[in-house]
Structure 1
Amino acid sequence: MTTELDPASLQHLRTTAVQKLDNAVCTALANVEGDAARRGIKEALAACTEAGAVVSPQVLGCVTAADEHLRYNERMEARMLLTVAHRLLSRVRPPMVVPGPSTPGDVVLGR
């Protein structure tokens, strides 16, 4: 059974996948054990691919290189690359929409 999602749902799914990648990068930056960090990033990248989320080549390059450094316990190099990836990912997030204040005529009660 195939379920097709509307464009808004697809965009939400993609945004969530990119946020998951950013969370994995932040977790890796928090000095998590190397293998756990690598596993989290790998899972997040797979979620991005599955959702069809576009991850910039710069972010992919940083994350891939950081993964290689983590594999050899080169934490400082990995940390630098993950910091760059996090900053790039934070620019991708859609701006938070804050609703304006309501006025007395905005709310209609009893209908």
Structure 2
Amino acid sequence: MQASATTSTSTTLYQLVTYLTRPLAAVYPAQTVMQLQMFLYGNLAAQFLTETVLSPFTLFLSPASLPPTPLYAACLQSGVEWPRWIHALGGKALFVCVMENTLKVRVGE
């Protein structure tokens, strides 16, 4: 059961990272996107992962403000500019709700 929870948590975080970074493939070199993915996964896990359980959380992403700390730190670590990233995601405000095995996204405020 423990291994299943860990796998499920890892899968959820990887799905989130993939969702957030996939549009950047058209904007940044593959190496930069891979670095961003690595830093983003580590930052999100450090903030929201308690042992093997993923605490539910919501990310609010907006072109009018800096992103949440895990995303901003990943930007600084990888050299990705937040305005370009949010533009690649559609340029509108996003609410991303993350729960075990589930991502829910709402576009617009």
RCO comparison, higher one (Cα < 8 Å, 6+): 2
Larger Rg over CA atoms: 1
Same fold (TM over 0.5): no
Q: Which has the higher helix share?
A: 1
TM-score normalised to structure 1 length: 0.28
